[in-house]
Amino acid sequence: MSGVGVHFAPDCIPTRHGIAKLFQLGTTLLAFICVQVANYPYFAAAKYFLYLSVMTLIVTGLLGFLYLLFIPGTYRLPWVFAEMVYCGIVTVMFLVGSGILATNASYSAALGAGSFFGFSAMLAYGVDAVIKFMCWRSGETTQCAAAGPGRGGAATTSSPSHA
């Protein structure tokens, strides 16, 4: 464990990783609302998409909350790698779900809008997966702890491993 400890870290929000989380949450929430409004509860594609959007809202919201408490910067776990894998899997799942919704958009304009926001979420998670891959390749352990000036984030205190 590093010497910083668990604390409230609002400096994570204006970083590229914080903005990516907010964009992911926003597009996923909009997609969920659109598909829910479409009123096709027994439509298999809608059920899959609603499940996907709710699960990603929960997991992404939880990850964002963990970063606000600086938990990934406190415990030495492969956070960046785990999030990279998560974002990659969610990207493929949104590609499938949004593609199926797009083919059925003729039934409801709300399904078409849900598909659009699903593709937007797919793009957000895909870009975040690429960013996480670059961070992982450069050896960063967490976004907020390693995001110093010039790397898309605010400067934070250094851990004992950098001393």
DSSP one-letter string for the chain: --SS-S---GGGTTSHHHHHHHHHHHHHHHHHHHHHHTT-TT-HHHHHHHHHHHHHHHHHHHHHHHHHTTHHHHS-S-HHHHHHHHHHHHHHHHHHHHHHHHHTGGG-HHHHHHHHHHHHHHHHHHHHHHHHHHHHHHT-S-HHHH--TTTTS---PPPGGG-
- Rounded distance, CA 105 to CA 38, Å? 10
What per-residue confidence (pLDDT) applies to 126?
95
Instruction: Give the pLDDT confidence score for residue 84 in this predicted structure.
Output: 92
**Residues near 1 by Cβ (< 8 Å), separated by ≥ 6?**
74, 75, 76
Q: Tell me if 60 sits within 8 A of 121, measured CB to CB.
A: no
Measured between alpha carbons, how far is 35 from 104 in angstroms, rounded to an integer?
A: 12
pTM over 0.85: no
Write down the pLDDT at residue 42.
66
Residue ranges of the chain with per-residue pLDDT less than 50: 1-2, 145-163
Given a contact cutoff of 8 angstroms between Cβ atoms, the answer to whether 35 and 49 are in contact is yes
Q: Write out the two tokens for 100.
A: 């199926």
pLDDT at site 108? 84
Give the span between the Cα atoms of 30 and 37, in whole angstroms: 11
**What local confidence, expressed as pLDDT, does residue 144 receive?**
53
What does the alpha-carbon distance between residue 3 and residue 9 come to, in Å, rounded to a whole number? 15
* Both tokens assigned to 94: 């949104």
